[in-house]
Amino acid sequence: MSYVENDGTNQRPDPLHGRKLNVGIISPYSFETPGGVQFHIRDFAEELMKRGHKVEVLAPGRRTRDMPLWVTTNDSSFSIPYNGSVARLSYFGFVGPRARRWVKQGHFDIVHLHEPECPSLSHKPLTMIHHPPFVGTFHAAFDPYPLVLRFFQGYLRQYLSPLSAGICVSEAAKQVVDHYGPRDIEYDVIPNGINCKFFATAQPKAAWLGTPERPTIGFLGRMGEARKGFSVFARAANDIIKRYPSARFLCAGTGEQDALKILGKVDPSGMLSKRFEFLGRISDKDKARFYKSLDVYVAPQTGGESFGIVLVEAMAASCAVVSSDLDAFAAVAQDGDDAALFANGDGHDCARQIISLLDNPERREHLRQAGFERSKRYDWPVVADRVLEVYARVLS
């Protein structure tokens, strides 16, 4: 399936009428460790710079060798459990004055705060008396709604009142923000973006390709985090090898030792673990090749997901996707039209959907094509246009 360049016929009119902006973006999470919000900020910044805008990013933590020069760090961060994961935030001591000074000295036309409700850097500028317009993007989704947020609702609504506009990456994220966000601003639901061409034009890796008798089924994520659903994937694999004894399960991401413990509980004989191959943390280039090489990509996450970026990436690589029926995933999959959905947490149902696709190449091809078309609405040029419309509305 080939990638077709946007010929400009479906582009939105430039909401800024040619004006070039100086944009400051603040990340709540350190760039030292990879994560969805950090990737979102990085890729959006690069898209703006392609268009001639100036962008600077402030993030917690320390600089690493591969960090872009336009990212400034404050040399301070701490780890804390957050939404089923571990986040590296920055909040105490000199962090607030340094963040506010960065905003003041940047002379920005607009400052974009990610997760401003989170106790970290993007929370700090909201106390400034004189400041450029603030736009906040809200990424988090919770089910159930956390007690701590319920307790701080009134405080957050007042603290976030300097925001001029809000962006939620999904309807699931907006349902959370509706509890504590300021009620006098407009919220736009604008999804995360991806570079569709990057995934669409990737070449599969011969060593990872499967065959009809030996299909390759993939998982990508932190295997040690329960919410990423590796245990669901393992239970599904135990059913799949009864139908496809030579199936390969290719796993990218951290937590191999955790994964082996889970596999040992699912199958104490150790036979199941022999069907698994662990790639560790892979580069962006290899991630695209990973999706491109699979017969089926599986997203078994059980909660805490506000979007479905892994689904969209796999779709852009023309890979058939099977995912849990989380609200955020179902929205990307259009309730099963563009990806096969299974009951959240149900490994047997997950296996049933995967086997159905492996048994039916025509249905698998239909999902590949449908998913590929669906991914185009998340291409960065499309998503960035929508964010710039919010900027234009705020600046006007």
> 305 and 325 share a domain?
yes
> 159 and 277 share a domain?
no
Q: Are 36 and 44 in contact (CB under 8 A)?
A: no
User: What local confidence, expressed as pLDDT, does residue 7 receive?
Assistant: 38
CATH number for the domain including 109?
A: 3.40.50.2000
Query: What does the CA dihedral 183, 42, 169, 174 come to, rounded to 10 degrees?
Result: -30
Residue 301 forms part of a structural domain? yes
Span 237-275, pLDDT tens digits: 999 999 999 999 999 999 999 999 999 999 999 999 999
Residue 17 forms part of a structural domain? no
3-state DSSP helix/strand/coil % of the chain, to nearest 5: 40, 20, 40
- Per cent of the chain over pLDDT 90 is 84
CA-wise closest residue to 84 among 342, 326, 349, 353: 326
> 134 and 280 share a domain?
no
- Is pLDDT at 169 greater than 50 in this prediction? yes
- Is pLDDT at 151 greater than 60 in this prediction? yes
1 band by pLDDT with thresholds 50, 70 and 90: low
| 29-43, 194-208, 278-292: least confident range | 29-43
Burial class (CB in 10 A: 0-12, 13-18, 19+), 172: buried
Q: At what angle do helices 36-50 and 309-316 cross, to 10 degrees?
A: 60
> 261 and 384 share a domain?
no
User: What local confidence, expressed as pLDDT, does residue 33 receive?
Assistant: 82
Q: Are 311 and 337 in contact (CB under 8 A)?
A: no
Q: Are 304 and 85 in contact (CB under 8 A)?
A: yes
Mean pLDDT, residues 145-154 = 87
Span 224-243, pLDDT tens digits: 999 999 999 999 999 999 99
Mean pLDDT, residues 335-346 = 97
User: What local confidence, expressed as pLDDT, does residue 358 receive?
Assistant: 98
- Per cent of the chain over pLDDT 70 is 96
- Is pLDDT at 289 greater than 60 in this prediction? yes
Rounded CA-CA distance 45/112 in Å is 11
Neighbours of 376 (CB within 10 A): 17
Phi-psi region at 100: left, alpha or beta (left = phi > 0; alpha = psi -120 to 50): alpha
Rounded CA-CA distance 341/324 in Å is 5
> 122 and 155 share a domain?
yes
- Lookup: tokens for 362: 């025509």
CA-wise closest residue to 23 among 126, 148, 108, 100: 108
Model pTM? Answer: 0.89
User: What local confidence, expressed as pLDDT, does residue 143 receive?
Assistant: 74
Residue 219 forms part of a structural domain? yes
Q: Quick one: which H or E segment has residue 55?
A: strand 54-59
- Is pLDDT at 9 greater than 50 in this prediction? no
Q: What distance, in Å, lies between the first and last C-alpha atoms of the chain?
A: 42
Rounded CA-CA distance 329/390 in Å is 25
Residue 224 forms part of a structural domain? yes
Domain count, the chain: 2
> 27 and 77 share a domain?
yes
User: What local confidence, expressed as pLDDT, does residue 11 receive?
Assistant: 61
Residue 317 forms part of a structural domain? yes
- Is pLDDT at 340 greater than 90 in this prediction? yes
Better-predicted residue by pLDDT, 33 or 290: 290
Cis peptide before 144 (omega within 30 of 0): yes
CA-wise closest residue to 138 among 186, 103, 164, 170: 170
CA-wise closest residue to 192 among 81, 43, 365, 362: 43
Mean pLDDT, residues 275-283 = 96
Rounded CA-CA distance 342/235 in Å is 13
Residue 109 forms part of a structural domain? yes
> 217 and 362 share a domain?
yes
> 223 and 343 share a domain?
yes
Span 22-64, pLDDT tens digits: 999 999 999 988 788 999 999 999 999 999 999 999 999 999 8
> 216 and 78 share a domain?
no
- Residue numbers of the domain that contains 301: 197-377
CA-wise closest residue to 162 among 120, 117, 119: 117
**Mean pLDDT, all residues of the chain:** 93
5 band by pLDDT with thresholds 50, 70 and 90: very low
Phi-psi region at 34: left, alpha or beta (left = phi > 0; alpha = psi -120 to 50): beta
CA-wise closest residue to 37 among 146, 122, 142, 144: 122
285 CB-side CA count, 13 A:
2
Residue 8 forms part of a structural domain? no
> 152 and 180 share a domain?
yes
> 185 and 222 share a domain?
no
Residue 69 forms part of a structural domain? yes
82 band by pLDDT with thresholds 50, 70 and 90: low
- Lookup: tokens for 217: 């089924």
> 229 and 131 share a domain?
no
Q: Are 349 and 165 in contact (CB under 8 A)?
A: no
Burial class (CB in 10 A: 0-12, 13-18, 19+), 117: buried
Rounded CA-CA distance 293/356 in Å is 19
User: What local confidence, expressed as pLDDT, does residue 8 receive?
Assistant: 39
Mean pLDDT, residues 81-97 = 81
